[in-house]
Amino acid sequence: MAKKIAFFDAKDYDIASFDEANADGKYKIKYFETKLNEDTVKLAKGYDVVCVFVNDTVDEKVISQLKKKDVKLVALRCAGFNNVDIEAAKDKIGVVRVPAYSPYAVAEHAMALLLTSVRRIHKAYIRTKDFNFSLNGLMGFDLHGKTVGVVGTGKIGRVFMDICKGFGMNVIVYDKFPAEGAGIDYVDINEIWEKSDIISFHCPLTEETYHMVDEKSIMHMKKGVVLINTSRGALIDAEALLNGIRERKIGAACLDVYEEEADVFFEDRSGHILGDDVLARLISMPNVIVTSHQAFLTKEALTNIASTTLSNIEEYLSTGTCVNEVK
């Protein structure tokens, strides 16, 4: 009998990629548009696996309900797992993730945001649509020779480092857990703040990295620094970021993630008044670019996410363990 998967927060691109990966019909997948949380966990009854994404809530209460419904596995179709209470899941239910779906997708998006921001591509695009070909206000700066601080040296961080080196940038790097034997020269986090013209974040969200960019760290940054975040929103205190922009300390911000994105990103809110005043003010700033957590969204990445997720499920249900299990 085919194993049953309850797939939460399903979008059209998810459905297309997973249906392709499951072309042989090995799994019976039910796609739910709603996110998984305490109110919707009842939908998981009768399923072997729940498949979740970054804004699904898998806390202690949800895990307890999943256990009661005899769900055996939480399959994350992403790398991060900060939305899952791993301690609560211990000895109750398995948790697996996709650690590397396409580091190129995210790293390239980070660079795309940076280039768009510093060369005013987005503003030029809007102008020329109105046949306005003036160059006033579009002056940027060369990336060549600038110092970029990279926070996090996992696969994505390393790909971004290589891209920056290709532009002739001076790369300095921080990671609490340095990659031994990788030939990377690490610096202290304070050196990142003090010396970087541009800082890009590629680290997981943990208790220690929560709000690592706050009023105190911003004070130590160069005037005019450009911040890029394609990792997790809560690495940056949004209020502190807003104040830093207002005070002209932060020159620009390129955000693919936002700490309170759960009820906003991935949805069409164009016909609604945005209730998040901080996000609304950030978007209104001329030196802020916000994309809605789309850095992962390439054909290659979606294919890898679907195939790895189904492989994780197969391995865990067959053996009770998985190489990509989160413990």
Catalytic amino acids? 232, 261, 293
**How far apart are alpha carbons 88 and 76 in whole angstroms?**
16
* φ, ψ at 104 (rounded to 5°): -65, -40
Exposed, middle or buried: residue 204 (CB in 10 Å: 0-12, 13-18, 19+)? Answer: middle
**How far apart are alpha carbons 93 and 316 in whole angstroms?**
11
**How far apart are alpha carbons 255 and 234 in whole angstroms?**
11
Q: How many CB atoms lie within 10 A of CB 210?
A: 15
107, 163 Cβ separation under 8 angstroms: yes
**How far apart are alpha carbons 241 and 258 in whole angstroms?**
11
Of 168, 167, 54, nearest in space to 111 by CA: 167
